[in-house]
Structure 1
Amino acid sequence: MKIHLIINPSSGKESGARSGTELADILSARGHIVSRSYTEKKGDGTAFAIDAGKRGAELIVACGGDGTVNEVVHGMAQAEERLPIAIYAQGTVNDFATQLQLPLEAEAFADMIDRNKRMVLDVGRMNDRTFLNVAAFGAVSKIGHEVDVEAKTMLGRLAYVIEGIRTAPDLLNTPMPMRITMDTGEVAEGDFLFAGIANSRSVGGFSHFAPRALVNDGLLDLIIIQRTDVVTLGQILMRLRSGEHIEHEGIAYYQASTFEVTAENETAIDLDGEEAGVLPAKVQVLPAHLPCIIP
């Protein structure tokens, strides 16, 4: 098989290059025709994915974190031919890989590729951008962008926790009035602490953040955390790991295929951990859009 690896060398505490090289060597030894490219700046993953398709790749492997996967998917979604993707998770959080229970070790990952079992995934679209895992809105979604690369390298997930604690007072006191209209006829309107439209269950490192989400059901799941006090927010966070948070009165949960999102104030958008402008936005599902290699 002709396989192209798109590698983010700075992912996984700077281990991305080493991990990508190891996987490439294993696949080559098994008889695959392997090529690779290394991202250096924003947008490289998208450009490399488009180019790999034109050069005859039969499989594209995204080797990096959620942001790298997002760029690669965005490039693949623009191609006329729907090539399959394999996601070799090397980032700090790796939400989508967690959802699919993808192998993290090179030999096991190569075994998965050789088995060539596939699932056709839904993909999200926000305005003219695609995303695989989540479109998030508001102050909370900005936490990841405040963590610098050096802190991620040294501390991993702990860097996000530290930044969240540091910025918590500002987050709780920043008004975020929003209105979200769905194709189901439902409308969510209010002052939200967080709003996220998810394709998979795993968001922000919480594997049950959107517990009803499926990656191939033709729907996206909207999770809203209402603005509240510190004590109530703590109660919600305590339930996140089990998925029981959606039963809390401070949470609103919806499923739909199209969402129109507006805000009174300038409100940031985050797609799979990457900055993507500000509201307003139209978010919709592209059902059965991307073949993916799975265990």
Structure 2
Amino acid sequence: MKTNLHFIVNPIAGKGKNELSTDMLEAYFPKSEFVISIKKTEFVLHATALTKASIEEGAQIIVACGGDGTINEVASCLVNTSVFLGILPMGSGNGLASNLKIPKNFKKALSIIKNQNTIAIDTATINGKPFFSNVGVGFDAHVISDFEENTTRRLFSYVKSTLRTLKKYHYKNVVELKYNGTTELISPFLLFVSNSNEMGYKMSLTPRASLQDGLLDVVIVPELSRFKLMLFTMLFLFKKHHWLKEVRFQQLRALEIKGLDNTILKVQKDGGLFTLKEPNIEIAIHPKNLTVCVKK
């Protein structure tokens, strides 16, 4: 029986030159073994609609071809299903793919999909919406907001967005944080909740996080002085931010965040802005409910 294999391609991800053809793919996936379908996204959330259609069409493997945003849209539809997620990293950061050791090399990534070696990974939700890598409240969400205004999505663009945000960032919101039966009020510079050990571009706030441990890794950074803010940034670049005593780490299965005075907080989800409709945020882990093609 032939494997029904669908590719959801974001043509403008990363460098914006992402092209797949049936002839190209049939060199790796012979007609005798695979039925191939290629679908290209044309607008935001189109990958979601295309993935749902592919599921209805009986796809057994659906390959997200793009960055973390495209992967989020495709994978969100595959949670708690028997359909395998394949990944062709074509984005700028490619955090989840890197965490799963899926290379950017086209041939090697296709080989992983063809072999159909899979693992089950944890996923998480924020207010019921799936995410796979991380969610952030505070500084990183403001960086993403600046980054999304750029027409180019490269590492240098991300660095420039970070520097611009550092200059103008004055985060004074107080949030109520609830976890493990405790409640605290904090004014965080950064509140970062991660399921994976990489944010993209080989950068990480949670290098010990695992996609299979059933836990969220949480980093809490309080409001910092200008000097300590610069120090934190430098330490982060060398993955030594844990040296700063103000930085706290937690491993949790769930937590609640609420902006006081009904403040609607700015949030990023898997590297894209996530629009909240209310001040309450509920985040939870869901163990091993997504099947992904990975290297043996």
The TM-score with structure 1 as length reference comes to 0.90
Unaligned runs of 5+ in 2: none
DSSP 3-state at the match of 2:11? coil
Aligned pairs for 1:253-272 (under 5 A) are 253-264=249-260, 265-272=263-270
Aligned residue runs from structure 1 range 83-162, under 5 A: 83-148=83-148, 151-153=151-153, 156-162=154-160
Matches within 5 A, 1:135-214: 135-148=135-148, 151-153=151-153, 156-171=154-169, 173-182=170-179, 184-214=180-210
CA apart distance, 1:281: 0.9
Q: Any stretches of 5+ residues in structure 1 without a counterpart?
A: none
Question: CA-to-partner distance for each residue in 1:183-221, whole Å, 9 max, x for gaps?
Answer: x33445311111111000112535432022100111111
Secondary structure (helix, strand or coil) at the match of 1:27 reads coil
Between the aligned partners of 1:47 and 1:221, the Cα distance in structure 2 is 31
Distance of 1:239 and 1:23 partners within structure 2: 44
Give the corresponding residue for 2:280: 280
**Identity of paired residues, percent?**
22
Which deviations, in whole Å up to 9, do the C-alpha atoms of 1:130-165 show, x marking residues without a partner?
Answer: 011111112431322323576325xx1111111221
Question: 3-state SS of the aligned residue for 1:239?
Answer: helix
Partner of 2:103, secondary structure, is coil
Asked whether 1:82 is paired with 2:82, we answer yes
Distance verdict in 2 for CA 1:188–1:293, change over 3 Å:
farther
1:81 Cα deviation from its structure 2 partner: 2.9
Q: Which amino acid aligns with 1:222?
A: V
The residue type equivalent to 1:232 in the other structure is K
**Structure 2 residue identity aligned to 1:110:** L
CA RMSD of aligned residues (A): 2.1
Q: Which among 207, 215, 219 is matched to residue 215 of structure 2?
A: 219
Instruction: Give 1:114 shift.
Output: 2.3
Spell out, residue by residue over 1:61-106, the C-alpha distance to the aligned partner (whole angstroms, 9 max, x if none): 00001111111111222xx633110111111111111111112122
Indicate if the aligned counterparts of 1:195 and 1:223 stay in contact, CA closer than 8 A.
Answer: yes
Runs of 4+ in 1 over 4 A off after TM superposition: 19-23
Name the CA distance, whole Å, in 2 between partners of 1:241 and 1:203: 12
Query: Deviation at 1:2?
Result: 1.3
- Supply the distance in 2 between the matched residues of 1:255 and 1:70 (Cα, whole angstroms): 23
Cα deviations across residues 26-75 of structure 1 (Å, max 9, x unaligned)? 43447421101111111111111111111011101000011111111112
Q: Distance in 1 between matches of 2:182 and 2:5?
A: 44
* C-alpha distance in 1 between matches for 2:247 and 2:145: 24
* Counterpart Cα distance in 2 of 1:42 and 1:28: 29
Question: 1:219·1:255 contact (CA, 8 Å) conserved in 2?
Answer: yes
Change (3 A) 1:28 1:137: same
Number of the residue aligned with 1:231: 227
Q: Distance in 2 between matches of 1:20 and 1:129?
A: 32
Could you tell me how far 1:293 is from its partner in structure 2?
0.6
